[in-house]
């Protein structure tokens, strides 16, 4: 069986935001076992799973990615939407647009310190749409 819904996340500032609880509030009762698939419908934001306990992780993500893929680099020709635009597309492709998480005992089977992150790469990205699909 498959269930699917689309949700709209609130607008987040640029950065890395734990959205695990927001996802769970929008899924209802999870099956005993199955898979939860998340897909973000944007080319300048991404999803990842990582450390959910220490907030310095989000600072390090931001600093490292800005060092690796800086805004406004002279290499970019796609610049019509501002200096953060092409960098956001590259970061989105680096992190990816989807996650698949096992469901066990009616819960997401994440590790103790794992959380789901929205990676917002634009200075003013706005609301983001997610497709949540549950397979069981």
pLDDT tens per residue, range 67-116: 999 999 999 999 999 999 999 999 999 999 999 999 999 999 999 999 99
H or E segment to which residue 57 belongs: helix 56-68
For the domain covering 2-135, report its CATH number. Answer: 2.60.120.460
* Whole-prediction pTM: 0.96
The count of other CB atoms within 10 Å of the CB of residue 132 is 16
pLDDT in tens, 10-48: 999 999 999 999 999 999 999 999 999 999 999 999 999
Q: Where are the domains of the chain?
A: 2-135
The first and second tokens of residue 59, run together, are: 């600072």
């Amino acid at each position: 069986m498959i269930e699917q819904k689309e949700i709209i996340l609130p607008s987040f500032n640029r950065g890395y935001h734990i959205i695990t609880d927001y996802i769970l509030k929008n899924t209802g009762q999870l099956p005993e076992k199955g898979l939860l698939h998340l897909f973000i419908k944007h080319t300048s934001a991404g999803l990842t799973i990582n450390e959910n306990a220490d907030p310095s992780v989000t600072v390090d993500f931001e600093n490292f990615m800005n060092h690796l893929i800086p805004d406004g680099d002279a290499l970019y020709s796609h610049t019509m939407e501002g200096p953060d635009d092409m960098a956001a597309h590259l970061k989105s492709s680096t992190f990816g647009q989807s996650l698949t998480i096992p469901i066990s005992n009616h819960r997401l089977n994440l590790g103790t310190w794992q959380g789901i992150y929205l990676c917002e790469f634009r200075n003013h990205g706005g609301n983001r749409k997610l497709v949540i699909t549950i397979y069981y």
